[in-house]
Amino acid sequence: MNPTPPPLRETPLLNGATILAAVLAGAIFVADLVTPRGHGIAALYALPLLVGTFSGPPRFQLVAAAVVSVLTVIGAANAPAGLPVNYVLTNRSIALVLIWATAIVLARFRATWLDLQARTKDLADVNFAIDQSAIVATTDTRGRITYINDKFCEISKYTREELLGQDHRLLNSGHHPKEFIRDLWVTIANGQIWRGEIRNRAKDGSLYWVDTTIVPFLDHRGKPYQYMALRYEITARKTSEERLREQEALARLGQMAAVVAHEVKNPIAGIRGALQVIASRMPADSRDKPVVGDIIARLDALNGIVHDLLVFARPRQLRSEPVDLDRLIRNTLHLLHRDPVFANLEVDFPQGEAVGPADAEQLQLVFTNVLMNAAQAMGGHGHIDIAIRRNEAGSRREFVISIADRGPGMPADVREKVFEPFFTTKHRGTGLGLPIARRIVQAHGGEIEIDTPPAGGTTVLITLPAS
Ligand SMILES: Nc1ncnc2c1ncn2[C@@H]1O[C@H](COP(=O)(O)OP(=O)(O)O)[C@@H](O)[C@H]1O
Ligand SMILES: [Mg+2]
């Protein structure tokens, strides 16, 4: 739990300052009595007044002034007999004026001082309250971080030392276009408040969204001398918004897929059949035969795309049963080895046993997509490492299947988008392989992640529940 800010302390009536003031006043009184011609001594009564200015109780000055006034008058009554009355009266009047003038000035000063203290305390309390709820940072005009609160460190996963003096670019996730950032800077540099939603990247690479308000603090010429950013995390909201958008898009895609299935798939099957008939009637040495073969291959590719689209847009219910994942992957590999891109690959996959609840047919699609990507990334030559690891995360038992290739890996901007439907960097890609894989794995209660190890290549990690 966080500590609350310290409360404002009340000054006790009798504290060090009052005691010291009393002792001083007493000493001056005695000195006044025993010094026969020490007429100026009464003026020293201003001293005890000073003592309590910072730490005395409220209205200290006025009470103290009254007390020392009385002492001054008593002192006057004890004046040596030889002194003219006029002289004594003048002397004591001056002392009293001095005492009261000091008291009034000090009382005013003290009131201001207390007010300042209360305001400082107010400010500290407001700061504290903001720190409890918001992610706070201040930067100088060049964008270098000059202050961050604990929440900032928590969410960004950087330590304070790593962030202070750094530029906010350290947290840039590359999501926002240059114009977005430029607009932000132009706004705040002109002394205006900027509001918006920003996606940042934490030290561990994870992404988070923050609702951000940046307030420029202006100097006497109206120019900003520092910026304060107040942020609130909205990652959960953003994720659910994104999911909603995805679902809406999928629903539309589903409708479209139904049309495509009917209007495209069937004619393709018809054309393909007719072409096969034509090809079979051609003489064996006909020069047109390869052309027909090529057309059929293209039609098959088209069919594959339509099929992917249908699988993606209209996922079917899982039919879960105990599945030996090790065997399922070996079967998939066996089937894939018939594909030319796979023919020259070496696969390293130590034998193991891993049985979990799954829909074998759907999972096969996942492994096919991931393995095909690996093979394509390496241009059909190279090495794929597959491993299944058992993991116990609390009460949850799961399998982590890693499929690692030694291809070119993925640049950050590609890696960020690979799960978006239709994102592809390939000439004839559909961009649906990984989105389909993720769909299926998530339906199993698992997760699929991409890792690009520093040593190179791409590793796909698929986590599936063990039981
Ligand atoms: N093993 C990998 N190595 C490098 N890039 C990959 C790998 N797997 C996927 N990708 C990238 O992710 C993109 C999307 O993959 P995917 O969804 O399977 O669609 P597609 O294979 O049709 O392009 C690919 O175009 C490629 O850029
Ligand atoms: Mg693919």
CATH code: domain of residue 158:
3.30.450.20
Q: How far is the centre of ligand 2, averaged over its atoms, from the C-alpha of 111 (Å)?
A: 75
Torsion of CA 196, 202, 207, 210, to 10 degrees: -20
* Least reliable range by pLDDT among 113-117, 206-210, 390-394, 417-421: 390-394
Q: What mean pLDDT is predicted for residues 7-34?
A: 83
- Statement: residue 464 has pLDDT above 90: yes
> DSSP class of residue 262?
I
- Statement: residue 194 has pLDDT above 90: yes
Do 172 and 223 reside in the same domain of the chain? Answer: yes
Between CA 418 and CA 416 the distance in angstroms is: 6
Q: With beta carbons less than 8 A apart as the criterion, state whether 191 and 224 touch.
A: yes
The pLDDT-based confidence of 38 (bands split at 50, 70, 90) is low
Residues having C-beta closer than 5 Å to ion ligand 2: 373, 433
CATH number, position 434 = 3.30.565.10
Angle at CA of residue 406, ends 402 and 407, nearest 5° = 115
Between CA 217 and CA 187 the distance in angstroms is: 13
Do 173 and 263 reside in the same domain of the chain? Answer: no
- CA neighbours closer than 13 Å in the CB half-sphere of residue 204: 7
For residue 424, which atom of ligand 1 is closest to its CA?
A: 25
| Substitution candidate for ligand 1 out of 385, 424, 439, 462 with most atoms within 8 A of CB | 424
Structure tokens at 423: 């994102």
Q: What is the pLDDT of residues 138-190, one digit of tens each?
A: 999 999 999 999 999 999 999 999 999 999 888 988 888 889 999 999 999 99
Residue with tokens 């005691």: 19
Which of 283, 307, 371 has the alpha carbon at shortest distance from 334? 371
Do 325 and 442 reside in the same domain of the chain? Answer: yes
Beta carbon of 459 within 6 Å of any ligand 1 atom: no
Beta carbon of 405 within 6 Å of any ligand 1 atom: yes
* Least reliable range by pLDDT among 85-89, 120-124, 340-344, 354-358: 85-89
Looking at the 3D structure of the chain, how many domains does it have?
4
Do 296 and 347 reside in the same domain of the chain? Answer: no
Is 3 within the bounds of a domain?
no
Which amino acid type is present at position 189?
A: A
Do 264 and 226 reside in the same domain of the chain? Answer: no
Q: How far is the centre of ligand 1, averaged over its atoms, from the C-alpha of 380 (Å)?
A: 14
E strands, 141-203, are 145-148, 194-201
Domain that includes residue 419, residue range:
321-465
Do 139 and 120 reside in the same domain of the chain? Answer: no
The pLDDT-based confidence of 453 (bands split at 50, 70, 90) is confident
Beta carbon of 446 within 6 Å of any ligand 1 atom: no
Cα distance between the two ends of the chain: 37
Q: What mean pLDDT is predicted for residues 386-398?
A: 88
Q: What is the pLDDT of residues 261-303, one digit of tens each?
A: 788 888 899 999 999 999 999 998 899 889 999 999 989 888 8
Is 225 within the bounds of a domain?
yes
- 211 membership: H or E segment, kind and range: strand 207-218
Q: How far is the centre of ligand 1, averaged over its atoms, from the C-alpha of 421 (Å)?
A: 11
Q: How far is the centre of ligand 1, averaged over its atoms, from the C-alpha of 363 (Å)?
A: 18
Is 278 within the bounds of a domain?
yes
Do 328 and 304 reside in the same domain of the chain? Answer: no
Residue ID of nearest Cα to ligand 1 atom 7: 373
Do 38 and 94 reside in the same domain of the chain? Answer: yes
Residue with tokens 């689209």: 309
Which of 339, 370, 371, 386 has the alpha carbon at shortest distance from 435? 370
Do 54 and 144 reside in the same domain of the chain? Answer: no
Is 64 within the bounds of a domain?
yes
- Statement: residue 1 has pLDDT above 60: no
Between CA 364 and CA 333 the distance in angstroms is: 10
- Statement: residue 9 has pLDDT above 70: no
Q: Choose the final residue of a domain: 313, 342, 364.
A: 313
Between CA 277 and CA 369 the distance in angstroms is: 32
Q: With beta carbons less than 8 A apart as the criterion, state whether 347 and 384 touch.
A: yes
Between CA 439 and CA 445 the distance in angstroms is: 10
Give the dihedral sign, CA 341/343/345/348.
positive
Mean model confidence pLDDT for the chain: 89
Do 361 and 458 reside in the same domain of the chain? Answer: yes
CATH number, position 287 = 1.10.287
Beta carbon of 145 within 6 Å of any ligand 1 atom: no
Q: How far is the centre of ligand 1, averaged over its atoms, from the C-alpha of 418 (Å)?
A: 6
Query: What pLDDT is attached to residue 420?
Result: 87
Q: What is the pLDDT of residues 225-238, one digit of tens each?
A: 999 999 999 999 99
Q: Choose the final residue of a domain: 233, 260, 291.
A: 233
Beta carbon of 433 within 6 Å of any ligand 1 atom: yes
Q: Choose the final residue of a domain: 174, 201, 233.
A: 233
Is 71 within the bounds of a domain?
yes
- Strongest mean pLDDT among 193-202, 237-246, 423-432: 193-202
Do 142 and 113 reside in the same domain of the chain? Answer: no
Between CA 436 and CA 451 the distance in angstroms is: 18
Do 325 and 215 reside in the same domain of the chain? Answer: no
